[in-house]
Structure 1
């Protein structure tokens, strides 16, 4: 290994997974820089609905522990919602029952079957605020964030490189197993709804993606308005909102809460979830002796597992030099 590289860690990727991983490393005593192709406000994380829930992420046997570890952090952060962007909000998963979930569900406080579905008080995260808070927390720990384009992970000049590039890993690793699952959302003026709602996905035809896509119905009350969703279009790359899809989203949500039908539309959001058959969380030794840690492929649950995965990734980084 090049001795001039020292003990610095460079985290590639500035979304919620990359920033959280960088915070854990920096607070653990490492010198950390984040290289981000885009600033936090322009990442996929920034447009996420961001309800804590293990959605479209595998493998289930590992996801439960990552999610529960993250849940404990968010419950603490919810004491300072204006600062952290995290609130605990009541809601219901329509048609879902506890016995349909994995063992992790029994360890979620307050998760209970009701006549309406599965009721819970869960973290709901205002992502622009949360991403800004993560960057500030990283700065207080001595870390920095730089906007930089990376052509390949091998060109990153650090003793340890942590790959949190999400969908970017498809070309940077390269790993063709990482695929986009397109999600479209509509932001409307909140007509007075204070609880979140979610219903199971179902196959969709037409513009939502034909046999390869699905739609779901959900709404999340965020400080800037009511966020309506959504879609899951596999292998779809367009970031342009589709008006027909948007109209379908509003109609489905209004079927649950009629007052949504007349709500003024404030904006549209599109994000590409970085789905993989299994999250890649492992380390490898590069030919020159440097360490490359992978932490990507979190699908639609990057926020949900961010802290659990960050701590495991940090554990794969060799301990820094003694002070």
Structure 2
């Protein structure tokens, strides 16, 4: 084990947004960090994400909101350099067909500067309530590249390889951080981890500048429009325990049709891409520390569902705190 006064050798399993932000927090704190990932960042679920900073399909809400507020702060600062970081501040409306007064996000609403209730004329047809806000909207391919570059600048490295066990991943390290997402189902193993399939369509943007999301709790079909530099992202779906990564043409047509009910010109927009991602869902995020069978300290950070981009930096702060406890000889303190 490395001396308590020095940085640790740490292996981070998983190269998506959760793994990269955790690795950056650790590397910038002076640890020697290597990310182990089967896929390049562009091949992870994070690359498919719409990129809106807003808590979605993630529990427990109390902790998720705190993580989200921290990420909001970080992404707002990164939005000052959008071409480099992929983060921009964009105004939009979050709506629902029911009143969202008791949706567990009161602390989020209090924390977002300028957020307000949407007026009736600002709501799409069929929506009963909504919130207007200016929030970070992240171009994920650009953002993931930025994260990799920032990690490298801090001395961290990325190694492309399959990880077969957490013990093997940390065999020559002082600690391992498990950010394996959906892979945790087999790697831990954790049967509570399951996919929530999301399909989206990217079309040429006819001039829509604001984001718009309608996503009732638990709904398998959602409607969202996210203007990105590479096109207008239309969504979407949230299919529990669906494992296919192949776009369904009928689902794609339904997504475009829902968007076109709000903006008829989208019915004629040229389709640029079809994408499918598998959100790594769990009844609640697992962000805990334990010792593996051989005594290796391990911090688990997975199960973020549809909120990975939104909570990544807040979760990375907690990972750093837990690793500091390991370095000081006080951790892991949770199992």
Q: TM-score, normalised by structure 2?
A: 0.89
Is the counterpart of residue 111 in structure 1 residue 95 in structure 2?
A: no
Long gaps (5+) in structure 2: 124-129, 329-335
Q: 2:195 aligns with which of 180, 186, 189?
A: 180
State the 1:320 CA deviation: 4.7
- In 2: Cα distance, 1:202 partner to 1:303 partner: 19
- In 1: Cα distance, 2:213 partner to 2:146 partner: 27
- In 1: Cα distance, 2:252 partner to 2:196 partner: 17
Long gaps (5+) in structure 1: 204-212
Q: How much is the aligned-residue C-alpha RMSD, in angstroms? A: 1.8
Q: Is the 8 A contact 1:98 1:112 kept in 2?
A: no
Aligned to 1:99: 101
Runs ≥4 residues deviating over 2 A: 94-103, 200-203, 286-289, 318-321
SS of alignment partner, residue 36 of structure 2: strand
Q: Is the 8 A contact 2:167 2:296 kept in 1?
A: no
Q: Is the 8 A contact 1:184 1:230 kept in 2?
A: yes
- In 2: Cα distance, 1:132 partner to 1:202 partner: 32
Q: Is the 8 A contact 1:90 1:122 kept in 2?
A: yes
Q: Is the 8 A contact 2:57 2:305 kept in 1?
A: yes
Aligned to 1:260: 266
SS of alignment partner, residue 285 of structure 2: strand
Paired residues in the alignment total: 310
- In 2: Cα distance, 1:185 partner to 1:127 partner: 14
Query: Which deviations, in whole Å up to 9, do the C-alpha atoms of 1:185-228 show, x marking residues without a partner?
Result: 0000111111101113388xxxxxxxxx7101001000000000
Is the counterpart of residue 22 in structure 1 residue 26 in structure 2?
A: no
- In 2: Cα distance, 1:167 partner to 1:202 partner: 21
Q: Is the 8 A contact 1:98 1:113 kept in 2?
A: no
Aligned to 1:170: 185
SS of alignment partner, residue 89 of structure 1: strand
State the 1:299 CA deviation: 0.2
Aligned to 2:62: 61
- In 1: Cα distance, 2:100 partner to 2:250 partner: 34
SS of alignment partner, residue 161 of structure 1: strand
Q: 2:175 aligns with which of 160, 165, 174?
A: 160
Q: 2:232 aligns with which of 206, 226, 229?
A: 226
- In 2: Cα distance, 1:94 partner to 1:103 partner: 15
- In 2: Cα distance, 1:113 partner to 1:287 partner: 51
Aligned to 1:207: none
Query: Which deviations, in whole Å up to 9, do the C-alpha atoms of 1:103-122 show, x marking residues without a partner?
Result: 32211111101222311111
